[in-house]
Amino acid sequence: MTPRRPPFPTAQGWLRWGLVAVPMITTMPRADAVAWVLIGITLVLSVPMPWIADLGARTSSAILSLAVIASTGALWVALPGSWATVAMFSTTFFVVLRQAPVPIVLAIVLDAALITVVWVARQDLWESALSTYAVLAVIVLMGLNRRTRNARVEQTELALARAQTASEEHARAAALAERARIARELHDVLAHSLAGLSLNLQGARLMLVRDGASPDAVAQIERAQKLASDGMAEARKAVAALREDAVPVERAIADLLAAYRLDSGARADLEVEGEPRELDAAVGTALVRAVQEALANTRKHAAHADVDVTLGYTAGSVTLTVTDRQGRRPPDAPAAGYGLRGMSERVALLDGHLDSGPGEDGWRIHLTVPA
Spatial neighbors of 363 by CB under 8 A, at least 6 apart, are 294, 297, 298, 301, 302, 323, 324, 326, 330, 356, 357
Q: Is 125 left (phi over 0), alpha (psi -120 to 50) or beta?
A: beta
Q: Are 353 and 347 in contact, with CB atoms under 8 Å apart?
A: yes
Burial class (CB in 10 A: 0-12, 13-18, 19+), 166: exposed
Q: How many CA atoms lie within 13 A of 176 on its CB side?
A: 11
Dist CA 250 CA 288 (whole Å): 9
How many of the other CB atoms lie within 10 Å of CB of 19? Answer: 20
* pLDDT tens digits, 205-254: 888 888 888 888 888 888 887 777 777 767 766 666 666 555 678 888 88
pTM recorded for the entire structure? 0.49
Helix (H, G, I), strand (E, B) or coil at 370: strand
The Cα 43–Cα 72 span in angstroms is 10
pLDDT value of position 240? 63
Distance CA 98, CA 54 (A): 8
Instruction: Answer whether 104's CB lies under 8 Å from 37's CB.
Output: no
Average pLDDT across the chain, whole number: 81
Q: How far apart are CA 184 and CA 32, in angstroms?
A: 89
Q: Report residues of the chain scoring pLDDT below 70.
A: 1-9, 52-58, 124-125, 186-189, 191-192, 233, 236-247, 332-339
pLDDT of residue 239: 66
- Span 266-299, pLDDT tens digits: 888 999 998 888 888 788 888 988 998 889 888 8
Contact status, residue 75 vs residue 115, Cβ threshold 8 Å: no
pLDDT value, residue 6: 47
By CB neighbour count within 10 A (0-12 exposed, 13-18 middle, 19+ buried), where does 266 fall? middle
